[in-house]
Amino acid sequence: MSASVDSPSSVEPVETRSHDWIMAEAERLKAQGETEPRLARDAVSQPIINAWLEAMEETDPRFADGVAPPAMAQVWTMPGLRGSRGASDPLSGAMAMLDAAGYTSVLGTNCDQVYERYLRVGEQVSVTTRLDSVVGPKQTGVGEGYFVTTRNVWRVGDEEVASMLFRVLKFKPRARVSTGATDGGGPDRSQIIRPVVNRDTEFFWEGTRHGELRLQRCNACGELRHPPGPVCPVCHAMDRGHVVASGRGRIFSFLVHHAPKMPGRELPVTIALVDLEEGVRFVADVRGNPEDLAVGDPVVVGWDKVDDELTLPIWEVAR
Ligand code: ZN
């Protein structure tokens, strides 16, 4: 066994990379502390702010005049398509370590940002990163994995302007990826990919279990929105409730999915984007033969109970 463990690629074969090895590597990466500041490629600029505002459909006039939206913090120090975060980047290091141990898939889980002040056009931002924690192994819906949390700090000179805790799940994908045909010939529905249920979405999945199509509503301005999220896109309030939709709408667009295979599902699957009566668009599968389907068809929501925990909405053509 090698005594000089400099990088995950220089050590023992996968089968000997135990939990203890992962934890030791994590401690080594944590002990490296904060990286050297990496300077943004370009200074904060109005053209990039404008492009971002358009992409986000953000129209707040205060950002048209040299003030950057705080949520752009990460934008300024992105390494670019062919850039690198640097050899010492602890997130890359933790990813490589877990790849080496067989935890090859990644899923973003959550991200908390703190803004100290607005950035202005012309300021040059730098970023540092350190590994905050590696926690696991945890059994999750997608497989066994480790939660990796890093902390980024953005500064102008020595002044901290924003920071972020960023957590990903690095997991070992489940071995079985076939559609899992059972003896009866149909797909094994216990393998259906399950939706992410979190603070923003649990009301929705509770609704489907009760046969209710729930739409998030902003308690401040009344705007309806789907998919659910923490902030109202119109008034930016975080106070949120929901209404129960009528479940009726019309097909705005649809596609027929033939490949690749989907765990627990029989192909083809028809998926439609539906304009609900309430003015919100909603995506779900459609029951029945896609040959019979046309844009503009009226549909009504039905329920596809997978098990006691999960019921999926499914469109049925209203004849
Ligand atoms: Zn609102």
Give 238 Cα–ligand 1 centroid separation in angstroms: 8
Give 156 Cα–ligand 1 centroid separation in angstroms: 33
Identify whether residues 240 and 273 lie together within a single domain. Answer: yes
Give 44 Cα–ligand 1 centroid separation in angstroms: 29
pLDDT at residue 274 is higher than 70: yes
Give 225 Cα–ligand 1 centroid separation in angstroms: 10
pLDDT at residue 204 is higher than 60: yes
Give 60 Cα–ligand 1 centroid separation in angstroms: 14
The model carries a pTM of 0.55
Asked if the structure places residue 262 within a domain, the reply is yes
Q: Which residue has the tokens 């203890």?
A: 20
Identify whether residues 163 and 251 lie together within a single domain. Answer: no
Give 115 Cα–ligand 1 centroid separation in angstroms: 22
Give 6 Cα–ligand 1 centroid separation in angstroms: 51
Mean pLDDT to the nearest integer, 15-34: 89
Asked if the structure places residue 271 within a domain, the reply is yes
Element (H, E) at 172: none
What is the residue range of 303's domain?
195-317
Tens digits of residue pLDDT in 90-99:
888 999 999 9
Identify whether residues 116 and 254 lie together within a single domain. Answer: no
Contacts of 1 (CB under 8 A, 6+ apart): 12
Give 234 Cα–ligand 1 centroid separation in angstroms: 5
Asked if the structure places residue 125 within a domain, the reply is yes
Give 54 Cα–ligand 1 centroid separation in angstroms: 20
Tens digits of residue pLDDT in 106-150:
988 889 999 999 999 999 999 999 999 999 999 887 889 999 999
Identify whether residues 26 and 168 lie together within a single domain. Answer: yes
Give 229 Cα–ligand 1 centroid separation in angstroms: 12
Identify whether residues 166 and 18 lie together within a single domain. Answer: yes
Give 58 Cα–ligand 1 centroid separation in angstroms: 14
Identify whether residues 271 and 127 lie together within a single domain. Answer: no
Q: Which of 117, 141, 173 is the last residue of a domain?
A: 173
Asked if the structure places residue 250 within a domain, the reply is yes
Q: What is the spatial distance between Cα 309 and Cα 205, in angstroms, rounded to a whole number?
A: 9
pLDDT score, position 83: 78
Number of domains in the chain: 2
Give 112 Cα–ligand 1 centroid separation in angstroms: 21
Specify the pairing of strand 298-305 against strand 248-257.
antiparallel
Asked if the structure places residue 9 within a domain, the reply is no
Identify whether residues 108 and 153 lie together within a single domain. Answer: yes
Identify whether residues 29 and 103 lie together within a single domain. Answer: yes
Give 102 Cα–ligand 1 centroid separation in angstroms: 44
pLDDT score, position 16: 61
**How far apart, in Å, are the Cα atoms of 84 and each of 53, 81, 149, 210, 234?**
26, 9, 20, 48, 36
Give 241 Cα–ligand 1 centroid separation in angstroms: 11
Degrees, nearest 5: CA angle 83-10-96: 45
Give 80 Cα–ligand 1 centroid separation in angstroms: 34
Asked if the structure places residue 285 within a domain, the reply is yes
pLDDT score, position 7: 46
In terms of pLDDT, which residue wins out, 79 or 54?
54
Asked if the structure places residue 187 within a domain, the reply is no
How many secondary structure helices (H) and strands (E) does the chain include?
Answer: 5, 15
pLDDT tier at 185, thresholds 50, 70, 90: low
The percent helix, strand, coil of the chain (3-state, each to 5) is: 20, 35, 45
pLDDT score, position 310: 94
In terms of pLDDT, which residue wins out, 254 or 6?
254
Q: Which residue has the tokens 């076939």?
A: 178
Q: What is the DSSP string of 210-253?
A: TT--EEEEETTT--EESS--SS-TTT----EEEEE---EEEEEE
pLDDT score, position 108: 82
Give 62 Cα–ligand 1 centroid separation in angstroms: 19
Asked if the structure places residue 190 within a domain, the reply is no
Which of 6-10, 77-81, 84-88, 174-178 has the least mean pLDDT? 6-10
Identify whether residues 75 and 147 lie together within a single domain. Answer: yes
Contacts of 105 (CB under 8 A, 6+ apart): 142, 143, 145, 170, 171, 172, 173
| CATH number of the domain where residue 71 is located | 3.10.129.10
Tokens in use for 259?
A: 């490949």
Give 254 Cα–ligand 1 centroid separation in angstroms: 29
Give 218 Cα–ligand 1 centroid separation in angstroms: 5
Give 188 Cα–ligand 1 centroid separation in angstroms: 42
Tell which residue, 215, 209, 271, has the closest CA to residue 247. 215
Identify whether residues 146 and 205 lie together within a single domain. Answer: no
Mean pLDDT score of the chain = 88
Identify whether residues 83 and 134 lie together within a single domain. Answer: yes
Identify whether residues 75 and 142 lie together within a single domain. Answer: yes
Contact of 91 with 131, CB cutoff 8 Å: yes
Q: Which of 142, 173, 204 is the last residue of a domain?
A: 173
DSSP conformational letter for 200: T
